[in-house]
A and B are shown apart, each in its own frame.
Chain A
Amino acid sequence: DGGITQSPKYLFRKEGQNVTLSCEQNLNHDAMYWYRQDPGQGLRLIYYSQIVNDFQKGDIAEGYSVSREKKESFPLTVTSAQKNPTAFYLCASSHMGVRVRNQPQHFGDGTRLSIL
């Protein structure tokens, strides 16, 4: 089945520690995204990538880093510089290009990150 896989589902971080959230897709999508959801809030964009080896900051990129070495993978690292990392993190992907422009983003099932 085609889809987006996020792992782990639950993750705990100690103070001063970096943690990496995995996101893999087999939908052959060019674009991938990371969002953060806090209670009672909508989804806010952290980073996005439209092509391999290229990515752009979203609205709340501070304290996060990403890489896009393969089309299928877009891992997110939550660094110790992120002072309020407790949240639900969602990865998404979509097609790119004029012909497929009006296509929805598809989401994984998320990773919940908590601080120990």
Chain B
Amino acid sequence: DQQVKQNSPSLSVQEGRISILNCDYTNSMFDYFLWYKKYPAEGPTFLISISSIKDKNEDGRFTVFLNKSAKHLSLHIVPSQPGDSAVYFCAARGPPGEAGTALIFGKGTTLSVSS
């Protein structure tokens, strides 16, 4: 059973507009959430994270929002650029004692930004 779900396999956005990528999770014990960006044949690159004690974290064009009651997080990219085109993975980690610090990943959303 998937504990981290990215229900949109793909998203297309025009350059300069906002990209919103969504992620839902089922385990209320998750306490740290991350977004990774991945290009084909490369490893994922860390983008931004958020602890469960916060509801928003911002880093330049990237903002992550966490809604614990809805078990939902989202990644906003503003403004979107063609170089942002990649697969974005949402990941979550449980508290200490559960698989160490290993992450549970969603299946990814492919973002395409057109110029």
Hey, which bits of chain A sit against chain B, CB under 8 A? 4, 6, 31, 33, 35, 40-45, 48, 50, 56, 58, 88, 90, 92, 94, 96, 101-102, 104-110, 112
Asked if B103 and A105 sit within 8 Å, CB to CB, the answer is yes
Other-chain residue from B4, B49, B51, B99 in contact with A42 (beta carbon distance below 8 A): B4
B95 to chain A, nearest CB (A): 10
Size category of the binding interface on chain B: 20 to 34
| Residue in A closest to B103 when the chains form the complex, CB atoms | A105
Asked if A42 and B89 sit within 8 Å, CB to CB, the answer is yes
Asked if A109 and B100 sit within 8 Å, CB to CB, the answer is no
The secondary structure that dominates the B interface is loop
Asked if A42 and B106 sit within 8 Å, CB to CB, the answer is yes
Asked if A96 and B101 sit within 8 Å, CB to CB, the answer is yes
Distance A5 CA – B95 CA, assembled complex (angstroms):
28
Asked if B102 and A104 sit within 8 Å, CB to CB, the answer is no
Given contacts A42-B89, A43-B105, A104-B34, contact A110 B41 (CB under 8 A): yes
Asked if B46 and A58 sit within 8 Å, CB to CB, the answer is no
Given contacts A110-B42, A112-B41, contact A96 B107 (CB under 8 A): no
